[in-house]
Amino acid sequence: MKVEYPVERAVSVWIGRFPSEPDFDKAVDDDVAKRLGLSVPLESICEISFETEPVPIRRLIEGFSGWQTFVDAAESAALTLGCEKANAALVCYYLKCSDAPGMWGQLHFLGSFSGQDVQ
Residue 119: band (very low, low, confident or very high) from pLDDT cuts 50, 70, 90: very low
Residue 31, in any domain of the structure: yes
Range of the domain at 42: 2-114
pTM given for the model: 0.96
Q: How far apart are CA 52 and CA 86, in angstroms?
A: 10
* Cβ atoms of residues 46 and 91 within 8 Å: yes
Which residues have a Cβ under 8 Å from the Cβ of 1 and sit 6 or more positions away?
Answer: 97, 98, 99, 100, 101
Residue 119 lies in a domain: no
Domain count, the chain: 1
Asked whether the predicted pLDDT for residue 112 surpasses 50, the reply is yes
Give the SS3 label for residue 82. coil
pLDDT in tens, 78-93: 999 999 999 999 999 9
